[in-house]
Structure 1
Amino acid sequence: MRALFTSLHRWAGLITAAFLFMAGLTGAVISWDHELDDLLIRRFIEVNSPGPARPSAELAKLIEQRDQRARVTYLFTTPEAGESLWFFVEPRIDPATGKRHVLDYNQVYLDPNTGEELGRRYWGSVWPITRENVVSFLYRLHYSLHIPEFWGSDRWGIRLLGIIAVIWTIDCFVSFYLTLPARRKSNALRPAVVSRELSKGFWARWKPAWMIKTSGSAYRINFDIHRAFGLWTWLLLFVIAFTAFSLNLFSEVFSPVMKTVSNYTPSPYETRSPTAPDRPIEPKITFAEIIAKAEADGRSRGWSTPVGSASYALQYGIYEVQYFKPGDDHGAGGVGPARLYYDGLDGRPLGAHLPWEGTAADIFVQAQFPVHSGRILGLLGRIIISAMGLVVAALSVTGVVIWYRKRRARLSLKAKDRSGVSDGGSLAPAE
């Protein structure tokens, strides 16, 4: 059994090492995506004009008037003090071709007081990598590998990393088993003595697996780092691996499995089939109308938290409104803000996402991204996840080094065996 598990761990590690090294390093960086972005694109962020801020729905119309190829699909309602407002845009359909216009940007920054455009960029673009998009490039690389759309889907990279996460999740248990000391057999002792001796021997033999012997050889230190880091952080590694699987294979695997175990409340996106990208559902309700409706609905529910953002999903015909104070969308802990959903054609309510409310399955589903990103614990969680990204990268490198050294040793032994046979069977003992 141990030999089988060793082989499984070896192949799982080799298959996932490069992916996990990339995911670990990028995850350590994107835990601070908002802060890094603010530093790199400060000229898009800082605003010195006097207020008050204009309504964000009015600013969205300005963007669309300036470039009629673009349609605003995401906006914030209130800026942070001294900062701009940014808007996500998507290309409209070109009547001449029936296809989407080609835009070289998808995000626009405006002065909320004057409506002046401060900058634009393509969030998550592959090339060229500039100071304006480097953080978003790493963010998309982390979960999608930037694999482009083909065969009618743009989720191939997401699915591939989901499969890697499944292998990683299973390997968490395999690797833990391999740290346990092999069982010892003992005869000629009374059962009570055997039990006591076995228990003492087990803990005594397992203890070195938790330690790093700094006085050993470079290879021994590398091996101890791989094993000890994996043990000390095992629970966090498993949680990160599992949530990576649940997020990347949500519709393909996680949601269907969840429904067989426990009912959870599906979001409106799960109850509708998306249209083709070149056949968007044109909204008949404006952002201004949806925001006004959401503000009234929030008051009727007794919420004191204001509307923080609104978005429209063109392929689903759904407005999503989130409730948070300026700045809390990227720094607050918990499972995310409250959300209400509305139909884009007639404005009727389609459902709600209420944090920490619903069945146990609802809360479990809500927690997947906040747990994976560490944001469920706020700043502390982000620090932990950033550190764990470095741990994952280190485990990937040390694991490959262990495999390489063992492989080189096996090849060297085989070469000595062949040499020994050709010399008439004389073979010096291996070190």
Structure 2
Amino acid sequence: MIKYLLRKRRKKESLFKYIMSVLHLWLGLLSSVIIFIVCLSGSIYAFKTQIENLIDSDVVYIKSNNSSKIAIDTILNNFENQFGGATNITVFKENNKSILVSSFSRNNIGVSAYYNPISGELLGTKNQNSIAFFDFILEVHRFLLAGDVGKFINGVAVLMFIFLLFSGFIIWLPKRINQLKKSLKIKLDAKFYRVNYDLHRVLGFYSILLLFFISVTGLYVSFHWVKNVVIVGLGGDSIVISDTNIALKASLSSSFNVLFDDLSTKENTVIKQKSDLQTLLIKTDSVLKYNGTKVIQLANENTKSININKMNTDNLLHFYVPDKIEFSIDGKVRKQELFTNLPLHEQFKLIAKPLHTGEIMGLPSIIIYFLISLVGCSLPITGFIIWFKKISKNNV
């Protein structure tokens, strides 16, 4: 078996490139199944919002007209009368979308309902089957359905994958500059094994930067030391975890939950605000003068504040970046957090999730991430075929 995992060093092959090639094979075989699962589940989850909106299209979308919209407080009252206390309200920037009101308890159990922004009537709730499906996909992507053990295996496999990207690039590098053109093309009219070989090398090269970026942002929410390296590298303070800092330890251990939950899980009872939300929305729009989706996080016993996050795409790259205004329950502005004014490491914390999933630039970047994730799925398969062909040839 060893001879299949430790090939002979080629003539004029550098020792460094030989070692990279052997490690590329070993780590590729070790991590191939996990990488395939992670990339496939990630590519499916990338379209979560679009698929859910398609399934719930009859309640998500409304006929757009020039009628004035009802006060958001009326919609909140309707929700509370029908389902109990709410935690989040989403007011989409598109005029043809309904308003989403949600409630989540400490057990992450709640309801998400869509309301007509003009009449205030209940249009329906989110499809429970689609919610269950994407919860399953996310559990596979994060934990491999094996809890903390699966999370650790997942993280180690992704670390291996990052090394595979580096070693793959070293192996790909042509010996001479005149061979570069050949290394950038797939010879589709060749035999199967040659096409497979080209697919592995060429697609791997073209996707290396994005796959590396997706992998690193995934590790950011998996391992404390990666989070620390990124934050310090971006100018923030080192995060120190000790037995006396249990709250921080718990916060970091649940970082995937924080980044991937569409709605915040509330540990505390929602408290009644003393000011009307419609006034707060008007105040928000007077400060943040652009058209963007607004998410209202209602007050609870812990924060005793109302946070309104507004998504801004009025920037050079049209990134979906959040600005936040924090209000007291009596409607006074406590704090304004404009994304552009935050230090770099704080900006990264806010956009780590959309950077990882591809949502950062909307549907165009989601499609790109989807295709790149499919390439990530293919690399373990094409790589295994290359290795299997070699051992089959040696057995002949």
Conserved in 1, the CA contact under 8 Å of 2:327 and 2:333?
A: yes
- CA 1:346–1:263 in structure 2 vs 1: closer, same or farther (change >3 Å)? farther
Which whole-Å CA distance do the structure 1 matches of 2:375 and 2:167 have between them?
18
Structure 2 partner of 1:144: 142
Structure 2 partner of 1:196: none
Q: 2:383 aligns with which of 394, 399, 408?
A: 399
Query: Offset of 1:221 from its aligned partner?
Result: 1.7
Q: Identify which range, 275-284 or 9-18, moves more after superposition.
A: 275-284
Conserved in 1, the CA contact under 8 Å of 2:62 and 2:116?
A: yes
Conserved in 1, the CA contact under 8 Å of 2:92 and 2:292?
A: no
Does residue 340 (structure 1) correspond to residue 325 (structure 2)? The answer is yes
Structure 1 partner of 2:76: 60
**CA deviation string 1:349-376 (max 9, x = no partner):** 3662x33443344445555444434444
SS at match of 1:81: coil
Q: Which amino acid aligns with 1:337?
A: P
- CA 1:54–1:27 in structure 2 vs 1: closer, same or farther (change >3 Å)? same
Does residue 113 (structure 1) correspond to residue 157 (structure 2)? The answer is no
Query: Offset of 1:378 from its aligned partner?
Result: 4.4
Instruction: Give 1:260-299 correspondences, 5 Å limit.
Output: 260-264=232-236, 280-284=267-271, 286=273, 289=276, 292-293=279-280, 295-296=282-283, 299=286
Which whole-Å CA distance do the structure 1 matches of 2:366 and 2:339 have between them?
19
- CA 1:255–1:393 in structure 2 vs 1: closer, same or farther (change >3 Å)? closer
Which whole-Å CA distance do the structure 2 matches of 1:14 and 1:287 have between them?
60
Which whole-Å CA distance do the structure 1 matches of 2:344 and 2:353 have between them?
16
Q: 1:256 aligns with which of 228, 233, 249?
A: 228
**CA deviation string 1:136-183 (max 9, x = no partner):** 3476257435748x6xxxx776665444333222221111112235xx
Conserved in 2, the CA contact under 8 Å of 1:306 and 1:324?
A: yes
Which whole-Å CA distance do the structure 1 matches of 2:265 and 2:187 have between them?
60
Conserved in 2, the CA contact under 8 Å of 1:211 and 1:224?
A: yes
Q: Which amino acid aligns with 2:370?
A: S
Instruction: Give 1:353-372 correspondences, 5 Å limit.
Output: 354-366=338-350, 368-372=352-356
Which whole-Å CA distance do the structure 2 matches of 1:234 and 1:78 have between them?
35
Structure 1 partner of 2:157: 164
Does residue 209 (structure 1) correspond to residue 183 (structure 2)? The answer is yes
SS at match of 2:309: strand
Query: Offset of 1:230 from its aligned partner?
Result: 0.9
Paired-residue identity, %: 18
**CA deviation string 1:121-142 (max 9, x = no partner):** 466xxxxxx4x44773476257
Query: Offset of 1:202 from its aligned partner?
Result: 2.4
Conserved in 2, the CA contact under 8 Å of 1:33 and 1:135?
A: no
Conserved in 2, the CA contact under 8 Å of 1:110 and 1:118?
A: yes
Q: Identify which range, 237-246 or 217-226, moves more after superposition.
A: 237-246
- CA 1:88–1:363 in structure 2 vs 1: closer, same or farther (change >3 Å)? same
Q: What's the RMSD between the two structures over aligned residues?
A: 4.3
Q: Identify which range, 301-310 or 162-171, moves more after superposition.
A: 301-310
- CA 1:371–1:284 in structure 2 vs 1: closer, same or farther (change >3 Å)? closer
Structure 2 partner of 1:24: 39
Query: Offset of 1:29 from its aligned partner?
Result: 4.2
Q: Which amino acid aligns with 2:90?
A: F
Instruction: Give 1:108-257 correspondences, 5 Å limit.
Output: 108-121=113-126, 130=129, 132-133=130-131, 136-137=134-135, 140-141=138-139, 143-145=141-143, 147=145, 161-180=154-173, 202-204=176-178, 207-246=181-220, 248-249=221-222, 252-257=224-229
Q: 1:7 aligns with which of 19, 22, 37?
A: 22
Question: Relative contact order: is structure 1 or structure 2 higher (C-alpha 8 Å, sep ≥ 6)?
Answer: 2
Task: Report the structure number with the largest CA radius of gyration.
Answer: 1
Q: Identify which range, 287-296 or 273-282, moves more after superposition.
A: 273-282
Structure 2, unmatched stretches of 5+, are 1-15, 239-244, 255-263
Structure 2 partner of 1:81: 95
Q: Identify which range, 341-350 or 236-245, moves more after superposition.
A: 341-350
Which whole-Å CA distance do the structure 1 matches of 2:355 and 2:265 have between them?
35
Query: Offset of 1:265 from its aligned partner?
Result: 8.8
SS at match of 1:167: helix
Which whole-Å CA distance do the structure 2 matches of 1:272 and 1:261 have between them?
24
Which whole-Å CA distance do the structure 1 matches of 2:95 and 2:177 have between them?
57
Does residue 310 (structure 1) correspond to residue 296 (structure 2)? The answer is yes
TM normalised by structure 1 equals 0.66
SS at match of 2:216: helix
Structure 1, unmatched stretches of 5+, are 93-99, 124-129, 182-200, 413-429
- CA 1:87–1:405 in structure 2 vs 1: closer, same or farther (change >3 Å)? farther
Conserved in 1, the CA contact under 8 Å of 2:89 and 2:297?
A: yes
Which whole-Å CA distance do the structure 2 matches of 1:64 and 1:168 have between them?
47
Q: Which amino acid aligns with 2:222?
A: L
- CA 1:146–1:236 in structure 2 vs 1: closer, same or farther (change >3 Å)? closer
